[in-house]
Structure 1
């Protein structure tokens, strides 16, 4: 049953993507694979070398892919003047925790980007990969860019109830996603970045949350915990917006994109 629902969600995501405007044309967009065979897509905004950002898409660990976030990656590359390497990591329920984290870590070790970015569950993967690299004594990217990130698999933050119906990302769907990613509820707290005992020595963080998002409070709380641990943090809650605004095309979402891109340009080492 879970795999049937996952298939329906994947097809729905593809249909939504087909209705979105195509992203900007770039001098180079090409597909390649990681050393282990993961599909990747590289976006270059110019012929000359630019800083590299690894991008991990959202989708509740269950759906979305290189195509659904192609426009987002194109805009990120052009507006921030960076190369983007998008990762088609393995999806749950076929590949539950920690498969997608393993994939993210592999690509970060191999590509050695200056930053890792992700929206929603992709933000979760970005920060979990940074935690693992730090704990293993490896150098993580200089910057982590977390857009409406999952950080608390226990779903215990107030916004899950307050904003968990009527704003596009419902609490019952969040619970289903978490169950596909990590079926054992007893393990979810330990697998949550927000509840990690030590957040020190992590990369500079840009954390952007949305007012009407069920994940709002866990993103806000993670930004606070990072700052308390001595991590440099730039944090903003976007007023009036909902989860997934990064793929929106209305004027409010577009304005939020420009603020996000300005923050990234300011933080990326050149």
Structure 2
């Protein structure tokens, strides 16, 4: 426990909100000189958040698993915006605890996004990604089924994959009961959740997803790429945390399995049309972009977007506004457009 853990969340949240409400020159003074790396300049909003996080311990991974889970939940509460106009209800999707979000007034037979939260397969929950799912539901005008898959190390690979597949297949089989169009079911997720969405797209035995929405996905647990060396320290997700997550999730000898590392799948030609977004200052950047290139080479319709001034986890940071909100809005727009045109 850090000393700031003793400070009420409400008080820390007020400080964060006040910092983001300051004039731009004052925010720049707090954040310091612009950070430039690999031909990119870090957004002021992201740099300010990283500066503030030096006071409030928001590190992803590391230490005890229970501590890391509490740390993520607390960090998310610090930037938790109110997202009105969405109803949520708990349900069991194929035996997996899940939460269905429905924008108020949305007609029956709408598109549905089956969403898998990030957190390195070891942290994260329905609650940590509650507002992301609400925002996607409202912005894209879709229902969202958020899946509370089992986490490592208590439930290592393949437990999370099994739950991800079970929940998706439940959605396909029960689309009408969920108020959804069975021909317009997409999958999506961030980080580890993006990995699970990709794995579901490759290995489901039911109808393939209509679309995949992948935020900075983990796609290959077997190799280190240049972005991990460039951004593995000081940009929220660290090299150390990535190792911590991988070691909890899957033994090294199993990591070549495409259900762990979908980038290593022999054939990607049956993958759904995809919007894949990476962050410029993210150690996962290069493997996500390599996955997009492999999809394109396989003949898949894919839109690759690098938000080159942002950091890992930006979708969860949309409540801070600015570039964070813009990036999530763009992804939601891509989802809405793809499913509407379909």
Query: What's the TM-score once normalised by structure 2's chain length?
Result: 0.74
List per-residue Cα deviations over 1:120-170 (Å, max 9, x = no partner): 00000010111111xx4x322111111000001024221111111111111
Partner of 2:233: 165
| Equivalent in the alignment of 1:174 | 242
Residue equivalent to 1:146: 214
Give structure 2 stretches of 5+ with no counterpart.
1-60, 173-183
1:206-250 per-position Cα deviation (integer Å, ceiling 9, x unaligned): 100010000000000000000101111011000210000001124
Question: Which position in structure 2 is the counterpart of 1:55?
Answer: 115
What residue number does 2:276 align with? 207
Do the aligned residues in 1 keep the contact of 2:235 with 2:281 (CA within 8 Å)?
yes
Q: How much is the aligned-residue C-alpha RMSD, in angstroms?
A: 1.6
| 5+ long unaligned stretches in structure 1 | none
1:188 corresponds to: 255
1:94-133 to 2 correspondence within 5 Å? Answer: 94-112=154-172, 114-133=185-204
For the residue of structure 1 that corresponds to 2:80, the secondary structure is coil
Matched residues in 1 for 2:203 and 2:267: separation? 12
Partner of 1:8: 67
Find the aligned partners of 1:250 and 1:157 in 2 and give their Cα distance.
30
Q: Which residue of 1 aligns with 2:98?
A: 40
Are 2:335 and 1:264 equivalent residues in the alignment?
yes
Distance in 2, Cα, partners of 1:244 & 1:10: 15
One of 312, 323, 332 as aligned partner of 1:252: 323
Q: Would the aligned equivalents of 2:86 and 2:138 in 1 still touch at CA under 8 Å?
A: no
C-alpha distance in structure 2 between counterparts of 1:116 and 1:188, whole Å: 23
Partner of residue 222, structure 1: 291
How many residue pairs align between the two structures?
264
Counterparts of 2:86 and 2:132, CA distance in 1 = 16
Q: Looking at CA atoms only, which structure, 1 or 2, has the larger radius of gyration? A: 2
Aligned 8 A contact 1:23 1:75 in 2: no
Distance in 2, matches of 1:130 and 1:264, equals 16
Structure 1 position 114, deviation (Å): 1.2
User: How far apart, CA to CA, are the structure 1 residues paired with 2:62 and 2:246?
Assistant: 14
Name the CA distance, whole Å, in 2 between partners of 1:241 and 1:42. 29
Task: Find the aligned partners of 1:42 and 1:13 in 2 and give their Cα distance.
Answer: 22
1:8 alignment partner, SS class = helix
Q: Does 1:71 align with 2:118?
A: no
